[in-house]
Structure formats: C-alpha cells, structure tokens
Chains A and B, each alone.
Chain A
C-alpha cells in the first residue's frame, strides 16, 4: 500500500525468463520467417528450456532499498539484468521510472590500453552522461576512487582493486534515480567496501531507489528496507529483512542437514500441520484463523533446548480468540519447556502485518529483564491493554533465544490474528488521540 502512495520506481509484472539449456542447439527457421519473426530459431521443447524466472511480480517503491537474497541459480542476477534492461523477459513486462545505473560488473567497459582518464570519460558516456557532465564530475570520480596519482596510466597497469574502484566510482557518479547493485560488495578491501556502503547509504538518504543483490546478508540487513528471497526463479518470501534472512538461513541449514533428516522432519511437520488445520477449520470457519497451538515446523528454527509448546491469544475474560477489536485488550500466552537448565535467555515477540512490515517487536532483554534461570516448564503472558493495530491480518513471531540472538526456538508466523475496526484509519497502529476544536468551526455530528 505504501508503495502505491509513493509511486513505483520499478514495476515487474509477471516476468518469466527462459534460457536454452544447451548452448548452440539451434534449430533454424527459414530466413524469411526469421526476419519477420525476429527470431532465428524455432521455439524450444519444454525439456530444452531452463526457467530462470517464473512469473515474478515485484514493485519497488520510489526511495525504497530492496535486498535480493537467495542461493546460486535462484534467479537473482537474471532479475537484476531484466530490470536493468540488458536482458529481455520471455514474457511479462518491466517498467522503470527514472535513470538507471547498474553496478553489475565494475569497469565492464574499460579498455586496458588507454589511460584511466580517458576510460572515465568513455565509461561515463556509456553510462549515459554527456562529456560536459563527466568533466564536471571528473575530480570527484577520481577522488572517490583514490586514484589521483595513477589516473593517466593505462588501465592495464592497474591492480584489480584500482580497476574496481574506478569502475564503482564512475557508476556511482552517474547519479541515477534507480541503482542496481549485483554482488559488487563481495570484492575489494575492507576500507573500500565500507566506503561503498557509506555511498550507498547516502544514496538512500537522498531518496534514491536501490536494488541490492547480495550474498552479504549483513549488508542486506543493514541497508535494506525490504528483502526478497528468491528460490527456484520465484519469490519465496518478501518483507522485513531480519525475518526473511532468518527464513532463508533456516532453509539453507535445513538443506544442509541432508536429505534423509530433512525428509523426515518435513513429513512430521506436514502431518502436524494438517491436523491443526482441520482442528482450526472445525472450530471456527468464520475466523479462518491459521494453526493455533501446534508448532508450525517450516517456519521454525533453533536448538530446541527451550521450546515454545503452545501459544494462545486471550481476551479480557481469558477466552481464546483470533479476532480482536482495535483498542481491545489482548494477552499472548506462551507455554515454554526447557529440556535443560539455561541461564542465558530472552523471550521476544514480533507482530507483522500482511506486507511483512514489523508493526511491533520487543523482547525481555530490550526491556532490561536480567535472565536468571529457565528450567522445566514455564508460562509467559504478555498483556497488551490496548491492541491499537489498525484493521487487518497480523502474524505473530515468537522466540526464545540467547542474549546474543542465537535462537533456542524461533517460530515464524506462529499465530495469525485479525483486528477489526469501525473506522478505516490507515497506517500501522492507531495512536491514542483526541480531536479538539476552537473558534468558528462546528460539526453536525461528533466523531467516533
């Protein structure tokens, strides 16, 4: 919703990108149909194609910083290239509003035989600047790359670090409205990486739109407003960076556990899940609430030294509900079991809306509880006297973790609940407020 209001800088609609699996297995059309059809080759049989992107839709709001994570071959770079316009989608549309600069490969256009100075000019022009603009920015470009002494030497004599610095510097001084960054932060020395991150942060402050593809999860966590996790050419998860990154890491860890264990775990989880679904459905079809008290395995990770066994959402009378009126009290009740005695622990909650935005999050550590001991079973209640969330569906994340954040049991989207409201105010939460009027203003009817 926020994206619509600010206007979209990038809009990717149902984009599918297919590549030929084997190179040079061309099957030729006649020249005539080739020229008329724009393609020299017959369309390929399903077995011969590799689908890099599968019906991906994505909107990046103006001024938003979006991180894209995922394992190799998940389609991250293809997505970036399609947004950059260097590759055309097989089907679907891409719209980019504003000047775009892609840091896909730094110094891609450099010619080794000529000097850094000449390369800066040519590269700048390739990236869409005029000669005049390059001249104006030349000193900044060279200063940022820290290459004042070497700028008149041929680029072939540069070290790979110098080469990259110059490439980054030129690309960043194009001053785009939309900046696409692919993995470039993975290379280069510590100091320069910091400098690049600072520069990206300053772009962010200036309201530029940034798309960052990275394996550097830390930089994604630090820089991005939103994170998209790509898996097998599709968006597996999108939303709040820590949440999506955790989900991704969990998936990676699970994959590493080996096929047998993973298969077993999935079967158990599926059975539990199914059981709870029928329970919930039978209990209240109208509320259409998600699983309640049973652990939801695919979104769960941690060492399980402490487990969250049950969660209930209670109203003022202590009755379990999934729908609350905005402003009503709500109590979140957790049942914990510590299979072994732990002294290093914190308990946290996070409430997320449907867009994956964290509406509220806290834990006992933030609120200065000093952990003593947790052993056996325990009950935790978090009482919210006024649940001031605007109307909508919410997901609850719950966690018991070490003070450094290492999870014992982290359960994502454990409970879904809904708030209702007679008025359609917008935003995330309703601030307690009152209208007051003085002077020549009169209302036929009071609010509320």
Chain B
C-alpha cells in the first residue's frame, strides 16, 4: 500500500504532464483559450445573481444567513462542480484511456488521479473570478479565516481521490456504474449543503416542534463527508468564521481511510483492466 502511494509520487511528472495536457486539450482550438475557464463560472455566476436577486429572492429569515445569495451559492457550487466532475471523469477514465492501459506499460492509477487533479485546477482557476465578485459586493474583502481554505481543499482532494479510484476500478467491470453515479450525484447534490446552509437544517431539526423528518434528514446529512467539506467552505469564505474544527479533521481522517481502501481495491483489480477495458 505504501509502495503504491509512493508509486503515485514517482509518477508525479507524468501526472503533472497529463493534467496539463487535459487542460490544454480542453481549451485548445477555442479562440478564448484559458479565458474560458474564467468565463464559464463568470457567466454562470451572473445568471444566478440575476435570478436570485430580481426574479426569485429567497426570504432571508427562512434561508438563514445566506445573503447575497449568489455569493453563498457559488461558494459551494464551485467546489461541488469539482467534486462531481472529478468522480464522473474518474469513473470514465480507465475506459477512455483503454488504449494506454492496453498498449503501453502504464500505471493505471494515474488516470483517475489526473481526472481529479485537472478538475481541481479548474476550481482553482474559478476562484479569482469569485473573488472579483466578492469584492464587488463586499469591498472589505475576505476574513483571515479564509486561510483555512487549503485544509478544506485538501480534505475534498483526498476524498475525491479515494472515491475516484473506487469508481474507476469498478466502472471497468460494471459499466452501469457511470449511469448510476450520474444519478447518485444529483441526489447527493441535494443532500449536501450547497443551496442551503448546514446550519439551516440543524436549526430545523433542533426546533421544539420538529418532527422526525428534519431530524432524520439532518442526521443523514451529517453522515455525508461532503457536508462537512461544504460547511468548511461556507465558513472559511462566506461567513468568515472558523472551519468546523472537530468535524473537518474527522472528515479528513475518513477521507484518508477511503483513499487507502480505494487504492487497495484498485490495486487488487489492476490486472483485470487491460482485458476488460
């Protein structure tokens, strides 16, 4: 296992090259080139902003402290996009890269890792756009708690790598995984505090007149590791508060376990890849 992970380190140049290739290939052949990676979230951000300020304005009291809502929404939507497309791409990576696995002496685990990292770079490229919008609404800038951001990103990275390896390995044998995953991610999106704050559900669940439904939802929510990652983003960026200092490290530990299990599973199934893809 340790050897496997050090293998990944050994292949860092290859991973780096492939991530660069992924990014270049995505924007090559388009006039705007890299600018599109800024423009895409910008456009989306503008649309959401218009929708949530003029067309549909969520009542402040009911949605908790989520104003301006476009900023709140994007705080979670950008990393979620990273997470969801990482898993989708990773699940497809071995099948798409079948040529490499079949025809070259190629470390297969590199492929899902590249999927996660390339989407991670996209997220990072989207952050400055977000910051510009942020400064437009809140000229005072971010709080110092934003310095926790790397820890939150790390947690998400480890979690995505682990899940990416698992889905990549299984999708080779069970192609249905890709379709199941696409649907599961939609459900997962709503079970993760992105369009609402975790605190909002917690308050509902702990209210005196709470039925079992919000309580159950809140419990399920807390079992989802992405909940705490999202809460981390919301606090570090949007609220300017300390990240959940207990729940986040626990989530990181869980993510590490998932990564180890994922790598173990991947390694076990490795020999079957060239024949199955």
Chain A positions near chain B (C-beta within 8 angstroms): 19, 26, 35, 38-40, 81, 84-88, 100, 102, 104-105, 108-109, 111, 113-114, 118, 121-122, 125-128, 130-131, 154
A154 to B21, alpha carbons, bound, how many Å? 12
For A118, list chain B residues within 8 Å (CB): 21, 24
Whether, in the assembled complex, B68 has its beta carbon less than 8 Å from a beta carbon of chain A, the answer is: no
- What is the minimal beta-carbon distance from B226 to any residue of chain A, in angstroms? 23
Knowing that A88-B271, A105-B99 are A-B contacts, what are 19 other residue pairs whose CB atoms are under 8 Å apart, sorted by A's residue number? A26-B173, A35-B264, A35-B265, A39-B268, A40-B269, A85-B105, A86-B105, A102-B103, A108-B102, A108-B104, A109-B103, A114-B28, A118-B24, A122-B17, A122-B21, A125-B13, A126-B14, A127-B105, A154-B29
For A105, list chain B residues within 8 Å (CB): 99, 103
For B275, list chain A residues within 8 Å (CB): 19, 87
Which partner residue on chain A sits nearest B271 by CB separation? A88
Whether, in the assembled complex, B9 has its beta carbon less than 8 Å from a beta carbon of chain A, the answer is: no
- Partner of A108 from the list B18, B99, B272 (CB cut-off 8 Å) is B99
For A130, list chain B residues within 8 Å (CB): 13
Q: A-facing mask of B24-40, CB < 8 A → 1, else 0?
A: 11001100000000000
- List 4 A-B pairs, minimum CB-CB distance, nearest first: A108-B103, A113-B25, A38-B268, A105-B103
- Partner of A104 from the list B13, B18, B103 (CB cut-off 8 Å) is B103
Asked if A40 contacts B21 (CB within 8 A), the reply is no
Whether, in the assembled complex, B185 has its beta carbon less than 8 Å from a beta carbon of chain A, the answer is: no
- What is the minimal beta-carbon distance from A14 to any residue of chain B, in angstroms? 18
For B17, list chain A residues within 8 Å (CB): 121-122, 125, 131
Chain B residues touching A, majority SS: helix
A109 to B14, alpha carbons, bound, how many Å? 12
- What is the minimal beta-carbon distance from A436 to any residue of chain B, in angstroms? 55
Asked if B105 contacts A109 (CB within 8 A), the reply is no
Whether, in the assembled complex, B106 has its beta carbon less than 8 Å from a beta carbon of chain A, the answer is: yes
Asked if B105 contacts A84 (CB within 8 A), the reply is yes
- What is the minimal beta-carbon distance from B171 to any residue of chain A, in angstroms? 12
- Partner of B106 from the list A39, A40, A113, A126 (CB cut-off 8 Å) is A126
Asked if A109 contacts B271 (CB within 8 A), the reply is no
Which partner residue on chain A sits nearest B264 by CB separation? A35
Chain A residues touching B, majority SS: loop
Whether, in the assembled complex, B149 has its beta carbon less than 8 Å from a beta carbon of chain A, the answer is: no
Chain B positions near chain A (C-beta within 8 angstroms): 13-14, 17-18, 21, 24-25, 28-29, 99-106, 173, 264-265, 268-269, 271-272, 274-275
A126 to B21, alpha carbons, bound, how many Å? 13
> Which of B28, B29, B272: most chain A Cβ within 10 A?
B28
Asked if A122 contacts B18 (CB within 8 A), the reply is yes
A104 to B99, alpha carbons, bound, how many Å? 11
Asked if B105 contacts A100 (CB within 8 A), the reply is yes
A105 to B99, alpha carbons, bound, how many Å? 9
- What is the minimal beta-carbon distance from B247 to any residue of chain A, in angstroms? 29
22 A-B pairs in the complex with CB atoms less than 8 angstroms apart: A35-B265, A35-B268, A39-B268, A40-B269, A86-B105, A87-B274, A100-B105, A102-B105, A105-B103, A111-B21, A113-B28, A114-B28, A118-B24, A121-B17, A122-B14, A125-B14, A126-B14, A126-B100, A126-B104, A127-B105, A128-B105, A131-B17
A126 to B104, alpha carbons, bound, how many Å? 8
Which partner residue on chain B sits nearest A105 by CB separation? B103
- What is the minimal beta-carbon distance from B162 to any residue of chain A, in angstroms? 15
For A108, list chain B residues within 8 Å (CB): 99-100, 102-104
A114 to B13, alpha carbons, bound, how many Å? 18
Asked if B13 contacts A127 (CB within 8 A), the reply is no
- What is the minimal beta-carbon distance from B22 to any residue of chain A, in angstroms? 9
- What is the minimal beta-carbon distance from B205 to any residue of chain A, in angstroms? 33
- Partner of A86 from the list B28, B29, B101 (CB cut-off 8 Å) is B101
A102 to B153, alpha carbons, bound, how many Å? 39
For A19, list chain B residues within 8 Å (CB): 275
Asked if A131 contacts B25 (CB within 8 A), the reply is no
Tell me whether A114 and B24 are in contact in the complex, defined as CB-CB below 8 angstroms, given that A39-B272, A102-B105, A122-B17 are known contacts: yes
- What is the minimal beta-carbon distance from B12 to any residue of chain A, in angstroms? 10
For A114, list chain B residues within 8 Å (CB): 21, 24-25, 28
- What is the minimal beta-carbon distance from A77 to any residue of chain B, in angstroms? 11
Asked if A109 contacts B99 (CB within 8 A), the reply is yes
A40 to B265, alpha carbons, bound, how many Å? 11
A26 to B104, alpha carbons, bound, how many Å? 26
A271 to B264, alpha carbons, bound, how many Å? 60
- What is the minimal beta-carbon distance from A101 to any residue of chain B, in angstroms? 8
A39 to B275, alpha carbons, bound, how many Å? 13
> Which of A35, A100, A109: most chain B Cβ within 10 A?
A109
For B271, list chain A residues within 8 Å (CB): 38, 88
A151 to B274, alpha carbons, bound, how many Å? 31
- What is the minimal beta-carbon distance from A232 to any residue of chain B, in angstroms? 20
- Partner of B104 from the list A38, A86, A121 (CB cut-off 8 Å) is A86
A113 to B271, alpha carbons, bound, how many Å? 30
- Partner of A109 from the list B24, B104, B265 (CB cut-off 8 Å) is B104
For A126, list chain B residues within 8 Å (CB): 14, 100, 104, 106
Asked if B29 contacts A113 (CB within 8 A), the reply is yes
- What is the minimal beta-carbon distance from B109 to any residue of chain A, in angstroms? 14
For B106, list chain A residues within 8 Å (CB): 86, 109, 126
For A100, list chain B residues within 8 Å (CB): 105
A39 to B104, alpha carbons, bound, how many Å? 23
- What is the minimal beta-carbon distance from A155 to any residue of chain B, in angstroms? 10
A46 to B152, alpha carbons, bound, how many Å? 52
